[in-house]
Chains A and B, each alone.
Chain A
Amino acid sequence: MSYSIFPFPRLALFVAGTLLSSSALAAPQGTQGVQEFDPLAFPGQVVDDVVVPVPSEVFSVLDKLGEPNWRHEIRELNVPNTSDRTQLALLFGHVVAEGFVAVQAEDKEAVKEAGKDVISISTALGLTKAVRPHAQAILDAADKNDWKAIRKEFDQTQKTVKDTMEEMKDIDLSQCVSLGGWLRGTASVTSVVGKNFSADRAELLNQPMLVEHFLNAIGKMPKNTQEHDLLRSIRKGLSSVLEKMESAVDGFSKGAVSDISKTCETLLTEILVKK
Chain B
Amino acid sequence: MKMTRHTFLSALTCLSLALTPVPALATVDESHDYAMEAATSFVEQGFIVREDYWNGEVKSGQKLMISHQLFKGNEYAFWLGSVNDNVELDLKVYDEKGHAIQIDSKSGNHALSIRVNPQKTGTYKIVFSLKSKKEKSVMWALAYGYR
Contact = CB atoms under 8 A, between A and B. Distances in A.
Given A42-B127, A44-B62, A11 B50 contact: no
Contacts of A36: 97-99
Given A58-B71, A60-B74, A207-B69, A44 B55 contact: no
Interface band, chain B:
35 or more
B104 to A, nearest CB: 15
Nearest to B53: A51
A178 to B, nearest CB: 9
A178 B136 CA distance: 35
B65 A50 contact: no
Contacts of A148: 48
Contact of A203 (B68, B98, B120): B120
Interface in A5-44: 6, 8, 10-11, 13, 16, 22, 25, 34-39, 42-44
Nearest to A38: B98
A13 B65 contact: no
8 contacts: A6-B57, A10-B54, A39-B125, A45-B58, A49-B66, A60-B147, A152-B51, A203-B120
Interface of B: 28, 48-59, 62-69, 71-74, 92, 94, 97-100, 120-123, 125, 127, 129, 136-137, 144, 146-147
Contacts of A34: 99
Contacts of B53: 51
A109 B147 CA distance: 25
A117 interface: no
Q: Is the interface of B mostly helix, strand, loop or mixed?
A: strand
A155 B51 contact: yes
A80 interface: no
Interface of A: 3-4, 6, 8, 10-11, 13, 16, 22, 25, 34-39, 42-47, 49-54, 56-58, 60-61, 64-65, 148, 151-152, 155-156, 158-159, 162, 200, 203-210
A205 B137 CA distance: 39
Contacts of B146: 57, 60
Contacts of A158: 51
B63 A47 contact: no
Contact of A37 (B51, B69, B94, B136): B94
B56 A47 contact: yes
Contact of B59 (A3, A22, A51, A64): A3
Given A4-B59, A151-B48, A156-B51, A45 B64 contact: yes
Nearest to B139: A6
B63 A45 contact: yes
Q: Which 5 A-B pairs have the closest CB atoms?
A: A44-B63, A61-B73, A35-B100, A209-B123, A37-B98
A101 to B, nearest CB: 16
A36 B68 CA distance: 18
Nearest to B145: A57
Nearest to A39: B125
Contacts of B63: 22, 25, 42-45
A20 B52 CA distance: 32
B137 A4 contact: yes
